[in-house]
Amino acid sequence: MGSTSEQNTQNINGGVGRRSLIKRSAALGLLSVPAMGMLSACASGSDDSDKKSKGGKKSAKNPLGINESAALSVVIFDGGFGTQYAKDANKMYEQAHPKAKVNFHSTQKIQSELQPKFNGGTPPDLIDNSGAEQMDMGVLFSKKQLADLTPLLDAPSVDDASKKFRDTLRPGVVEMGQFEGKQCVVMYMAYTVYGVWYSKKALDGLDAEYPQTWDDMLAVCEKAKKKGMAGWTYAGKYPYYLPFSLYPFIAKIGGREVLDKIDNLEPGAWKDPAVKAAFEAYYELYKKGYILKGTPGIDHIQSQTAWAKGKALFLPNGSWVENESASVIPKDFELTVSAPSGLDKSDKMPFGTIWAAGSEPYIVPANAKNPEGGMEQLRIMLSEKSSQNTTKLVKSLTAFNGGTDGIKLTSGTESANAALELAKDNVVNPRLQDWYAKLQKEQIGVACLGEMMAGRMTPAEAIKKIQAFADATAKDSSIKHYKHQ
């Protein structure tokens, strides 16, 4: 995601996906989104520069009918992915449309810099809306400030004119960009695989295989402990990283419908037996001393560094971790991600069930001067050539369903790809972090999961408190509510 862990997750509060986590946001993310008041604040009026360019004639080479001499204004979040992938895509746009010039700008202050332009009616044509200052997608949508991307989805792909652009994307990407089951208004550039990350070299050193059941997980952690290595660590200061493996674990135990009920804020959803079993299993990691000492007090970078140095075996995280921790991960680490271990043979979903979703959300403002150009750039960015380039540069899969043939993948990206192939249709995409950011991060994450994993709260106490938070969110009329269609 733009950032990686936090910028990403996400697309907070909007019905879109992408964890916008802490400093980076992450997704998750993930920081708080701007208040609605910020969005509706007054701003200076616009001048002739806000007049839309006249579209061009549609053709096989110009299916969206862009004005090929019109400038294109692109602003992206400068996070964990850097900016080179976008600059390279800009060159592709200019090569395809020689008379057009791309005006490019990168920043970590998306909301601060762009909110006044939205309010004044002069937004850029394409925005990577990520990071700690991610603009609230839900508010933008409700104020009709996001362009409907249906023309892009129905346009032919760059690589195969017989295929629509929408048919070249990974499963779930279009749906994540939809609000209230309506038109798609957000396009995700990247595709994040969440799970349990580890060094295959370290696991082989324990003469162990990745555990498929929880008893096996505990046995591997015991082996690690005997060799002076903790079984697990995580971002203790930001415990909303724990759901990256915990939520698909819950789905594996009780079925994806358990997560849907949780997302829908249904009464008693957190009291499901699958939730209880998953919480009790994770609590065992604390009780048996398998958590790296000091974990509750460290952040995402510190936990990733300790893990990379071999102080802990397993780390719940997203695929941005490879790029974010590249400077500390040893070359012979053999970075690998796997789906969460199951509980036992009674699980309702097979081993391999994993959380994966679109990330790095791009939007085309409804009042953009050149909206057709913004969509055309997305069509180019998610072509095979651009996707391959992005994957090589940022060590992440893109939302393009492919783009890995013929290029040498890093170990983490290769394992993420393999995890998706193993999962097949058993990919889950919980939306709680997207729809209810405060509930997910501050209440479930910090106030409950963090306390439980530090041993300051029992699983039963955590579940009771989370259910109360969820019920309060459901009853709060000031919060926009979403449901799975």
- 3-class secondary structure, 419: helix
Structure tokens at 122: 């002069």
121: amino acid identity, one letter: G
CA angle, corner 97, sides to 94 and 103, nearest 5? Answer: 40
Q: How much is the pLDDT for 79?
A: 83
The span from the CA of 175 to the CA of 55, in Å, is 28
CA angle, corner 86, sides to 105 and 160, nearest 5? Answer: 140
Q: For the chain, list residues with pLDDT below 50.
A: 1-50
- E strand or H helix at 336: strand 335-338
Burial of 474 (0-12, 13-18, 19+ CB in 10 A): middle
What are the angstrom distances between the C-alpha of 354 and each of 20, 244, 384? 20, 9, 25
Cα 104 → chain centroid? 24
CATH class (in words) of the domain with range 36-45+62-192+358-414: alpha beta
Within 8 A by CB and 6+ apart from 464, the residues are: none
Structure tokens at 280: 């009790």
**Residue 400 carries which DSSP code?**
B
Q: How much is the pLDDT for 55?
A: 72
pLDDT digits (tens, 9 = 90+) for 49-102: 445 667 788 999 999 999 999 999 999 999 878 899 999 999 999 999 999 999
**Rg, C-alpha atoms of the chain:** 22
The span from the CA of 128 to the CA of 105, in Å, is 11
Residue ranges per domain, the chain? Answer: 36-45+62-192+358-414
Structure tokens at 414: 């290769």
Structure tokens at 261: 């009920």
The answer to whether 52 and 369 are in contact (CB under 8 A) is yes
Please identify which residue in the block is written with the tokens 């990256």.
244
The span from the CA of 114 to the CA of 247, in Å, is 34
Structure tokens at 33: 């989104």
What are the angstrom distances between the C-alpha of 228 and each of 216, 222, 313, 454? 19, 10, 11, 20
H runs (alpha helix) in 206-242: 214-226
Cα 34 → chain centroid? 19
Q: Are strands 312-318 and 230-232 parallel, antiparallel or unpaired?
A: parallel
The span from the CA of 333 to the CA of 200, in Å, is 7
Q: How much is the pLDDT for 276?
A: 98
Q: How much is the pLDDT for 76?
A: 97
Within 8 A by CB and 6+ apart from 37, the residues are: none
Return the sign of the alpha-carbon dihedral for residues 363, 366, 369, 371: positive
Structure tokens at 385: 């050539």
Structure tokens at 77: 């979040």
Which residues of 200-247 form beta strands (DSSP E)?
230-232
The span from the CA of 358 to the CA of 378, in Å, is 14
- 3-class secondary structure, 297: helix
The span from the CA of 138 to the CA of 33, in Å, is 10
The candidate with the shortest Cα–Cα distance to 176, out of 319, 18, 28, 31, is 18
- 3-class secondary structure, 397: strand
What are the angstrom distances between the C-alpha of 432 and each of 180, 318, 440, 461? 15, 16, 6, 20
